[in-house]
Amino acid sequence: DAMVIQNPRYQVTQFGKPVTLSCSQTLNHNVMYWYQQKSSQAPKLLFHYYDKDFNNEADTPDNFQSRRPNTSFCFLDIRSPGLGDAAMYLCATSSRTGSSYNEQFFGPGTRLTVL
Amino acid sequence: LAKTTQPISMDSYEGQEVNITCSHNNIATNDYITWYQQFPSQGPRFIIQGYKTKVTNEVASLFIPADRKSSTLSLPRVSLSDTAVYYCLVVPDTGRRALTFGSGTRLQVQP
C-alpha cells in the first residue's frame, strides 16, 4: 500500500545533541510537510517542500532545518534540541491537481524525548 | 486565513449521531472546508471536504449553509472507535499549500 513512513517512531536525545528524523513516501507526491505537535495541542506547521522549493514558516526557529534529497525522502534536523522541543513530529504529503492542492496524508509521527 | 471555532470537547454514546459544528465567519470565496480526524499517537487523517450544501462519503456527512460561515460534521451511529480529535480547517483552493490547524474537538464516545 502507498504510504508515508516515519523513522524512528520514538527517538530519545540529549539536550543539545543534534538529531535527525526521517520521512519517506511511496505516494510520489510532490509536496512534503513537517508539523510539530506538542501534548494536547494541534499540529503546527514548521515548513514544507513543493518539489525542491523550500518554504519556511515565519515563526519556525532556526534550530529546525530540513532536507529533501529526492521526491521520496525528507529529513528534519534539530541542531540543538532543547527541552521545549519534545513533541510528536508529523510528516505529511500531498499532490497537486492543476492549481489546487489535494488532501494531506500523514505519517504515524516520531515522538521525540529530550533528556 | 479564515479562523475556525469549534467546541473543545463533546461526549456521546455508541449508536448515536454526533454533529460537530465549526464556525468560520471570515471564510473567503475560494476557501474549502475540510475535516481531519486524529487518534491518539497517530497522524491526522482526512475525513471529508466540501464547498457548499451537503457532501457525504462512507465515513461522514458535511453540511454547509448558503452563507458558508459555519459547517457541521455529522458522524452517523458512532462507535467507541470514533473517539478522537476532530479538526475543522478552512483551506484555500489555490495558493497556500499548508494546513493551519485550530484547537479541534475532542469527541469521547461512551459504551
Q: Could you tell me how far CA B90 lies from the centroid of its own chain?
A: 10
| Calpha distance A65→B69 (Å, rounded) | 37
- pLDDT of B100 > 70? The answer is yes
pLDDT for B101: 85
Mean pLDDT across B40-51: 93
Q: Could you tell me how far CA B79 lies from the centroid of its own chain?
A: 17
Cell numbers linked to A39: 501534548
- pLDDT of A4 > 70? The answer is yes
Q: How far is B44 from chain A (nearest CA, A)?
A: 6
β-bridge partners, B109: B12
Q: What is the band of A1 on the pLDDT scale with cuts at 50, 70, 90?
A: low
Q: Which of B43, B100, B104 sits opposite A90 (nearest CB)?
A: B43
- Cβ-defined contact of A107 to B43 (cutoff 8 Å): yes
Mean pLDDT of chain B, nearest integer: 92
DSSP alpha helices (H): ranges in chain A?
Answer: none
Q: What is the band of B70 on the pLDDT scale with cuts at 50, 70, 90?
A: very high
Classified as helix, coil or strand, B81 is helix
A23-66, pLDDT tens digit by residue? 999 999 999 999 999 998 999 999 999 899 999 999 999 999 99
Residue B43, CB half-sphere, CA atoms under 13 Å: how many? 24
- Cβ-defined contact of B94 to A55 (cutoff 8 Å): no
Mean pLDDT across A84-95: 95
Mean pLDDT across B76-85: 96
Q: Which of A42, A48, A106 sits opposite B102 (nearest CB)?
A: A42
Mean pLDDT across B79-99: 85
Chain B positions in Cβ-Cβ contact with residue A88 (cut-off 8 Å): 41
